[in-house]
Chain A
């Protein structure tokens, strides 16, 4: 009797969270999958079931592949560069005694607090072909040649977006790594230095293995946040231009779903992104699995 009452109590306590989760997460997700099988403009009640037609069209659409390529490129570049930079910064700021430590912590973290619109405005100003900071500095070395079109050249634009994204993300991951690095006992470093290990080998043999669990978690974050942030950045900075050269998954999905009256098709892109990011996160998780080291 007491056990029954106990489980009833547990159900009562978890029910709100479960109900909310089902209503706001599970049902919409299933809805996305369902909608991807329809041809629908998005406003009317009239929907036509088209089966996998949307996916078939998607697989033949070069513009989708362009957006796909851009997204993958961003995931790789932004993850790699942000990961390396934030690890190095975190290690320096938590292990080394340097002047103005707190100042640097704040400076690195500030971009994370700024809204994407502000960041895109800052970078638009930096990338401005005529008065921009970047071209002005480069002109010191290359003379007054034709300005480089950071947001206008189709070959450069996606890298320009990547730089802004790295700048925005470094601080956030740095703080996450610093938090776990500060948990590593000082004694390990002391004994390592007594045995003659230098700073760099300490980093690779002690710091890195001991924050590995944290790193694995952040890798999943990298994938999700790059997919989401790239949409915001692209939307605010270039709107997919010039001529679709900076379109990413979600900006292309947005274009199709909301400006081309193809809501169902947009949802098909959504499903592809969902499956892709899930699979990628799964693969990364499997590849980075190590025996956990405790201290």
Chain B
């Protein structure tokens, strides 16, 4: 009997112990869950790049001798840097290689890398318990809103001084290397105080994609104004082809910004991004709403049924099948649809948005990802050094190998093939638009996506009128304006 009691107590104790152990395991899991992508691989990448070690080290020393700040900073910089990057179409390898290159050029530095497609799921549990990565690569506009949350919470490290830092191993400053416009915008300066909190990384022009082969075969020309667009819409309709489709309503963000810029010019555009009072009643804004309303009437009718994260590729397929002429997208679509069947003679074509008036501005939105540091980062100096390193030629080359192009001077000259076509869009007269709606404190129940872009689905199905949409925009803009970060 007594034995039984002891056994019971022992079992109970083991259960509690086991549960506690499980709890602890849950916490560390987030850190070690992906390291097969992280720690383990940096190890092997380190081996690979061991040969470059000496060279890089020398370069680093040279650069250090040239500039005082750099020498001062890199001299004391050792330790472990936690880097978290989202894995996108470019893959995870480039991050491993870049981290290895940084490690080999910075003695005494170890990088703990986390690369994951669902980055938030991996790093959030640790962040909730107060352990933050030092450097995070995640763009605004992601569904999780990770970056936006940090912006809204004033939880970002001021990176303005990184612009003045010399790129490790080189003699130019980071600020001089980055293409103009990429730092001076509302995404990188979310609070409008002239300080840079997010640094621009890989970018890609967004615009309208179409089948160049179909245009050649039919003898159609790519419209340069919206009036020509509507004419083409009628011609195509007569042949049973819809003028327009879109993957999901979320893709209207780039489209909307570019169209707003075309219609209202930069000053009013900036005002609109700050939800300026009465801005949506101006004739320029009304023109934008009219164009989108008309475009909705030319949209392939089944589009809203597939305009979700699950089925959006069916909408993209409409372009490949010549069932619709244009869709707004970014250059990643080519990789996304690489394996998809396509109409005979299909060839990707890409254009900026048509102009609102003949001879007027044609704009293309430049989507770019951002790298930033949370206030909770422990190794802030080392983190800044790492960010500066990301703009070095050595890093840019590694990224470019995977197709990731940074906004660095001279980078587009090094591109070839398809990439050249997309990135040269700005050389052909298109205006690059890079801003986004200004940062606000969180407004419960209001998101820019639900207010501005999702209703496009309703315009296509006829569940909402343009007036409903504009009224919603006006009401929500009032709420967002009141919550603007000053």
Q: For B248, what are the chain A residues with a Cβ–Cβ distance below 8 Å?
A: 241
Interface contact A41-B454, CB-CB below 8 Å: no
Cβ contacts under 8 Å, A255 to chain B:
447
Interface residue? A260 (CB, 8 A): yes
Q: How many residues of A contact B (CB 8 A)?
A: 53
B8 touches A9 (CB 8 A): yes
Residues of A within 8 A of B5 (CB): 9
Q: Are B442 and A39 in contact (CB under 8 A)?
A: yes
With an 8 A cutoff between CB atoms, is B417 at the interface?
no
Which residues of A are found within 8 Å of B150, using beta-carbon distances?
41, 43-44
**Residues 235-250 of chain B, each 1 if its beta carbon lies under 8 Å from chain A, else 0:** 0000000000000110
Find residues 121-135 in chain B having any chain A CB closer than 8 Å to their own CB. 124, 127-128, 130
What B residues does A149 contact at CB under 8 A? 301-302, 304-305, 461
CB distance from A118 to the nearest CB of B (A): 12
> Which of A127-135, A163-171, A271-279 contacts its partner?
A127-135
CB distance A259 to B144 under 8 Å? yes
Q: How far is the CB of B470 from chain A (nearest CB, A)?
A: 15
In residues 161-198 of chain A, which contact B (Cβ within 8 Å)? none
Given contacts A43-B150, A261-B148, contact A256 B444 (CB under 8 A): yes
Kindly state whether residue B225 has any CB partner on chain A within 8 Å. no
Question: A19-B16, A241-B454, A243-B464 are contacts. A258–B302 as well, Cβ < 8 Å?
Answer: no
At the interface with chain A, which of B29-37, B82-90, B159-167, B307-315? B307-315
Contact with B along A243-280 (1 / 0, CB 8 A): 11100000000011011111001000000000000000
- Given the interface pairs A260-B145, A260-B447, the reply to whether A151 lies near B153 with Cβ below 8 Å is no
Q: Classify chain B's interface size.
A: 35 or more
A residues 24-45 touching B (CB-CB < 8 Å): 39, 41-45
Q: Is residue A147 contacting chain B, with contact meaning CB distance below 8 A?
A: yes
Distance in Å from the Cβ of A43 to the closest Cβ of chain B?
5
Q: Which residue of A lies closest to B132 (CB)?
A: A43
Instruction: Give the residues in chain B near A46, CB-CB below 8 Å.
Output: 153, 155
Q: Which of A102-110, A136-144, A231-239, A281-289 contacts B (4 or more CB under 8 A)?
A: A231-239
User: A265 to B302, Cβ gap below 8 A?
Assistant: no
Measured between alpha carbons, how far is A262 from B149 in the docked complex, in Å?
Answer: 9
Inside 8 A of A20's CB, which chain B residues have their CB? Answer: 15-16, 19
Q: Please measure, in the bound complex, the distance between the C-alpha atom of A242 and the C-alpha atom of B248, giving whole angstroms.
A: 9
Q: Which residues of B contact A15 (CB under 8 A)?
A: 12, 16
B293 to chain A: closest CB distance in Å? 15
Structural contact, A41 and B304, CB atoms closer than 8 A: no
A13 and B8 in contact (CB under 8 A), knowing A44-B153, A237-B308?
yes
Q: Are A259 and B302 in contact (CB under 8 A)?
A: no
Residues of A within 8 A of B457 (CB): 152, 241-243
Interchain CB contact under 8 A, B302 and A152: yes
Min CB distance, B300 to chain A, in Å? 10
Closest chain A residue, CB of each to CB of B18: A16
Shortest distance from the beta carbon of B405 to any chain A beta carbon, whole Å: 28
Q: Cβ of A150: which chain B residues have Cβ within 8 Å of it?
A: 305
Asked if A57 and B305 make an inter-chain contact with CB atoms under 8 angstroms apart, the answer reads no
Name A43's contact: one of B128, B447, B454, B463 (CB within 8 Å): B128
**Interface pair B153/A57, CB less than 8 Å apart:** no
* Chain B stretch 398-435: residues in CB contact (< 8 A) with chain A: none
- In the complex formed, the residue of B with least CB distance to A12 is B9
Q: Is B450 an interface residue (CB 8 A)?
A: yes
- Complex Cα gap A57–B445 (Å): 8
Q: Which of B143, B310, B445 contacts A236 (CB 8 A)?
A: B310
Q: Which residues of A contact B331 (CB under 8 A)?
A: none
Given A57-B445, A63-B445: A124 and B310 interface contact (C-beta under 8 Å): yes
A259 to chain B, nearest CB (A): 4
Give chain B residues whose Cβ lies under 8 Å from the Cβ of A128. Answer: 305-306, 311, 314
> Which chain B residue shows the least CB distance to A121?
B310
Residues of A near B443 (CB, < 8 A) are: 260, 262
Contact partner, A154, options B16, B450, B461, Cβ 8 Å: B461
Chain B 260-302 per-residue mask, 1 if CB under 8 angstroms from chain A, else 0: 0000000000000000000000000000000000000000011
A242 touches B149 (CB 8 A): no
With a cutoff of 8 Å between Cβ atoms, the chain A residues found around residue B177 in the complex are none
23 CB-based A-B contacts, threshold 8 Å: A12-B8, A12-B9, A15-B12, A16-B15, A43-B146, A46-B153, A46-B155, A58-B444, A58-B445, A64-B445, A121-B310, A124-B310, A152-B457, A153-B304, A237-B310, A238-B308, A238-B310, A244-B450, A256-B444, A259-B144, A260-B445, A261-B145, A262-B442
Listed in ascending order, the chain A residues whose CB lies under 8 Å from chain B are 9, 12-13, 15-16, 19-20, 23, 39, 41-46, 54, 57-58, 61, 63-64, 120-121, 124, 127-130, 146-147, 149-154, 236-239, 241-245, 255-256, 258-262, 265
B residues in contact (CB < 8 Å) with A: 5, 8-9, 12-13, 15-16, 19, 23, 120, 124, 127-128, 130, 143-146, 148-150, 152-153, 155, 248-249, 301-311, 314, 374-376, 442-447, 450, 454-455, 457-458, 461, 463-464
4 residue pairs, one from A and one from B, having the closest CB atoms: A152-B305, A242-B457, A152-B304, A261-B149
**Seed contacts A43-B153, A260-B444; 19 additional CB < 8 Å A-B pairs:** A9-B8, A12-B9, A13-B9, A15-B16, A16-B12, A42-B149, A43-B155, A54-B444, A58-B445, A63-B445, A128-B305, A149-B302, A151-B305, A152-B304, A152-B306, A153-B305, A242-B454, A243-B454, A243-B457
